[in-house]
Amino acid sequence: MPSGRLVEREASLAQAGAALDRLRAGSGGALCLLGPAGVGKTTLLDSVLAGAGDLRLLRAAAGELETHAPYGVVRQLFGRALADLDPAAIDGLDGIAHGAARAAVDLVLHRGEPVADPSVMLNSLYWLLDGLAADGPLVLAVDDAHWADEASLVFCQHLLSRAGELPVLLVVAARDILPERRSPALAALVAGSGRLDLAPLSVAGVRSCLADLGHAELSDEMAAACADVTGGNPFLVTALADLLGTTDVRSLVPLAVVDTVVQRLTALGTTEQALARAVAVLDSAPLRIAADLADLSPEKAGIAADRLRDAGLFATERLLGFRHALLRGAVTAATGAATRDDLHRRAARALAAEPDGLHPAAGHLLEAEGVGDPWAADLLRTAARAALADGAPQAAVDLLRRAVAEPPPAADLPALLVELGTAELHAGDPASVATLERAGRGVSDPVLRAHCALGLSAAYHVGGFYERSVPILEAALADLGPEHGDLTLLVEAALVAAEISVPGCFEDARTRLAAHGELAGATPGERLLLIHQASVANATLAPIAEAGALARRAIGDGATPEQLASPFAWSLARIHLACSGAYDEAAELCAQGLELAAREGSVPLYAAASVTRGWAHLWAGRLDDSGTDFAEALRHAEVVAGGQLVRLMAAAGLAEALLGQGRLAEAVATIEQIPDEVATDPNNATGIHLLRSRGLVRAATGDHEGALASLRLCSERLIELDMDSPTWCGWRVAAVESLWALGRVDEARELAATELAVAERKAAASMLGQALRTVGEVAADDGIAQLERSVEVLTGSQARLQEARSRVALGAALRRTGRRVEGREQLRIGRELAHRLGAAGLAERATTELALAGGRAGRIETTGVAALTSAERRVVELAATGLRNRDIAQRLFLSTKTVEVHLSRAYRKLGVGRDGLAARLAADA
């Protein structure tokens, strides 16, 4: 309000003051100031920020035409902070420009290489903020957030989800629009922040406000009339104060106050009216730009601007703009639609020539109807490519849809539709299917058709509709030849990926892959085909060594471009290698991927490497390590494209790791977090692993009928896909255990024999040893021969948990047949191994059996490094190399606070400080 005094906002100010006090104490948070236009959000925000006092402030305000400018608000927030530093200071700001924050700094300063991955930018912006907050608490304020671009809002949402990690208070002021009209990110901000809802003023509040504006002698009747006409809206009350005495207040209705103020414009000359219309279209602008749009000289425009300020329409700042959005909206509404469109198109051409004018120009075109202008279509397309490069696919979608509506020249439309469909795919928009199908109908160029088919197949695969991809990719492949180079192989690889996932098409995929013979893995297309050859070898009864050899050829030196094709392809190659029994090698390759992810800030690669290494650790029996990896993958699944796939694989693995550790309740909770319709979706091939894990968990709870139902469904899916291989998804061993528990002995023995037969053919030590143990445990005789062979097969392999299980099973069988001394030896070895691997349930069983065999179960001490959790050990190992906490946090995609907690616990367990970590690790090794 003009007087500077807030009326009836004491409760909101108290709540904001408490948040600022918590910030001073080191605790971050978020506030959201909500209310209708004119209710005083900006005034309240100013008062809140004034109360910040000594705290550092970064502030931004969104504009109506900036909604589609990617990271526009983010650039405002951080640009001002970085603008105060010279380049040397920026580079020295806690290593910010060369660490995980480098991409964010480049974005804000308009330099460096673009980053197309939204998750990379979110991670980088987080670390930029972390670096800026290193010198003390920060307040981030965003005004008019309902107009903010979606990419900036997503960052604010990301910050909100990590509010407890940084000493940062996010304060957002937004118009209280209908919930269904809020963008997903804005809705999340409103729901997750401390809300300060700004109510209209009471009659007493209106009287107090008008008194501050020089109208202290108002009757009760007049105060009530003013409250009625303004609806208690503070801005309208202020505007009405100027009209008191010149207008019959009782003749007005709510919002007519604004119209009455704007009517003053008609009393001014045509020069002022033209400038007002131009500024209404521009939102805010320098005098020269507004003058050009209004067809005025700078001198005449300056005089007109002063008259508009005197009339109470323009704000007093040097940059031309209306005193309030309600006034601008009224002038805009009074301008004819055709005139507005013409002004927007002219503004676009004027701003396109300005530095950093690309997105502002595109924003004006988004406000205007298309007129078939090729220049406009090209500018929108250019802006969309820039948005994609900045990691803002949704902004690119909006721009490309507007470019299609322009429309462009007919010859350019198919390629534009392919770009739009691809952007929609990146944004997770289901409309990508319809767009790419439309593009495919108009494409004649074989290369463009191939790219369209690749995009369309990716869109189909998101929904699990692999069968739709097959004919489209077949048609695209038929038009390609050797002259198209690796594109031909890429299309064929996509076709094979679809055929593998479609019932009845598996043989077609095998035939296609066999025709390529021995591939060298020299190109991305060859590497993808090698990965699919490994998939076939893994999914069939071919010896598993074949899959391992093919995977190694695809992976090459571990840094080949196959890892950049997609995190899924990167992960699949290493999964096949792990399935071959090379768990340690696969885990080391995943560690390299995690290091690459840390250097690039790539959250998708970090999630993919985590879930893949989780399976390698799980199959090796390193339960704590695998659980940590799966938990990390789940923590990031929501912010990566294809996150559902990561979520399903990580949840399945985590449940099995928790079961192995004896943490049944947590395993049940992990499985139950995945809805039934997702787990049982027939279009989702990844769901087979979750079905297997569900069977294991249900069996552990005693629900063996439910376990068999899940495992039966898993079996049916595998048979449909012709992939019933134990190394692909082994379900029979779990089913045997449930059948045995239900007393269905003959069925259990028959299924165990079937599993042994296929395991013999696969020749995978882990699967063969497990199958032999299962047959031995359900055998009609003592089963010792099979159990002894199981131990023999597993000894020396990397499947240490399977070895421990077989040794305990053998020891128990020997004890039962009276060979107690031999049994005790196997039980001791199995117990110690189970303990080292964290298999609490197995270790407890071994302890019980050992006592029955007459042996003493000595206490196994857990001290030193062995006492650390997997997560603590990873932090300690990096700290021992001399890395700072912030560097460790960036490497492990954790917060610095989390690293500090892990180290504090580790110091207590190890009995040393940071300086003693390296020596303690070496001693325990």
The 10s digit of each residue's pLDDT in 816-851 is 999 999 999 999 999 999 998 999 999 999 999 999
Among 47-51, 685-689, 718-722, the range scoring the smallest mean pLDDT is 685-689
| Percent helix, strand and coil across the chain, each to the nearest 5 | 70, 5, 25
Burial 695-715 (b: 16+ CB within 10 A, else e): bbbbbbeeebebbbbbbebbb
Residue 858: is it exposed, middle or buried by C-beta count within 10 angstroms (0-12/13-18/19+)? exposed
pLDDT of residue 83: 79
Percent of the chain with pLDDT over 70: 93
The whole-angstrom separation of Cα 205 and Cα 218 is: 13
Compute the CA torsion angle 762, 765, 768, 771 (nearest 10 deg): -140
pLDDT of residue 604: 84
For residues 600-620, average pLDDT: 91
The whole-angstrom separation of Cα 605 and Cα 107 is: 21
In order of 129, 130, 132, 739, 879, the CA distances from 93 in angstroms are: 11, 11, 8, 63, 21
| pLDDT digits 0-9 by tens, 335-349 | 999 999 999 999 999
CB 574 within 8 A of CB 590: yes
Residue 142, beta-bridge partner list: 60, 172
In order of 602, 698, 702, 732, 798, the CA distances from 713 in angstroms are: 36, 14, 19, 12, 30
Query: Which of 153, 189, 171 lies closest to 68, judged by CA?
Result: 153
Q: What is the mean pLDDT of the chain?
A: 89
pLDDT of residue 610: 94
Q: Is the pLDDT of residue 245 over 70?
A: no
| pLDDT digits 0-9 by tens, 362-421 | 999 999 999 999 999 999 999 999 998 888 888 999 999 999 999 999 999 999 999 999
Structure tokens at 277: 């219309």
Q: Is the pLDDT of residue 559 over 70?
A: no
Global pTM value: 0.82
Structure tokens at 10: 């004491």
Strands 194-197 and 284-285: unpaired
Query: Which of 226, 197, 145 lies closest to 33, judged by CA?
Result: 197
Total count of residues recorded for the chain: 925
pLDDT of residue 426: 84
In order of 352, 363, 383, 396, 403, the CA distances from 400 in angstroms are: 17, 12, 9, 6, 5
Structure tokens at 510: 């095998």
Count the neighbouring beta carbons within 10 Å of the beta carbon of residue 111: 10
Residue 586 confidence class, pLDDT cut points 50, 70, 90: very high
**Residue 39 carries which side chain, given as an amino acid letter?**
V
SS (H, E, C) 258-289: HHHHHCHHHHCCHHHHHHHHHHHHHCEECHHH
| pLDDT digits 0-9 by tens, 441-489 | 888 899 999 999 998 898 888 777 888 999 999 999 999 988 999 999 9
Q: Is the pLDDT of residue 95 over 70?
A: no
pLDDT of residue 601: 78
Strands 284-285 and 320-321: antiparallel
pLDDT of residue 638: 74
| Locus of tokens 């690459």 | 596
Q: Is the pLDDT of residue 97 over 50?
A: no
| pLDDT digits 0-9 by tens, 264-315 | 788 889 999 999 999 999 988 999 999 999 999 999 999 999 999 988 889 8
Among 197-211, 395-409, 551-565, 798-812, the range scoring the smallest mean pLDDT is 551-565
Q: Is the pLDDT of residue 244 over 90?
A: no
Query: Which of 26, 354, 411, 31 lies closest to 192, judged by CA?
Result: 31
Counting runs of H as helices and runs of E as strands, what totals does the chain give? Answer: 51, 7
The whole-angstrom separation of Cα 914 and Cα 891 is: 18
